[in-house]
Amino acid sequence: MSLFEVCQWIQDSQVGTAIRESIWIYPIILSVHLLALGTSVGTLLWFDLRLLGVFMRSRPVSEVYRSVMPWMAGGFVTMFLSGGLLFWALAAKCYGNTYFRIKLVAILLAGINALVFHRMTERSIDEWDTAAVPPLKARIAGLLSITCWMVTMVAGRRIVAGLQ
């Protein structure tokens, strides 16, 4: 069974069909997905702008992170689950969509960037936590995060436009 056939099977399942054909369910899931995206990426943007040294320069980076982390995490989990349901409804259509693939790669790169930041850059946070402008490696992590999430959002919008 090819990957496309698996996607077709997912899309044609009772759950996929019910989501796709409902006048209410698909739009509600899409709305939840967008609200979760705004919550997760919106709060992450505050942190990334602090890493870039352009926002909340007088607050320690660790303090900004602690204050936005619950919102980032909750929004991301909700965004991931609702995105999975949206994929479930249109898996075969998404399979061949270039923007869907771009979105997946951008999300993967955002995850790798976050992992590298937390495993390497954050280890030295005691040295630069209160600096108005963090070191270059922290600023790069913030810029990469913003870039990856912007690509994700643009590609996501193009997926929707391509499926209509």
The pLDDT tens digits of the residues spanning 47-61 come to 999 999 999 999 999
Confidence of residue 88 (pLDDT cuts 50, 70, 90): very high
**Residue labelled with tokens 């997946």:** 104
Helix, strand, coil in percent for the chain, rounding step 5: 85, 0, 15
Could you report the per-residue pLDDT of 95-111, keeping only the tens digit for each? 999 999 999 999 999 99
120: DSSP letter: T
67: DSSP letter: H
The answer on pLDDT for 162 being more than 80 is: no
The answer on pLDDT for 39 being more than 80 is: yes
Percent of the chain with pLDDT over 70: 99
Give CA–CA dist 58/55, Å, rounded. 9
What pLDDT, on the 0 to 100 scale, is given for residue 130? 94
Give CA–CA dist 10/6, Å, rounded. 6
Residue type at 134? P
Return all residues near 153 (Cβ < 8 A) that are at least 6 apart: 37, 41
The answer on pLDDT for 163 being more than 80 is: no
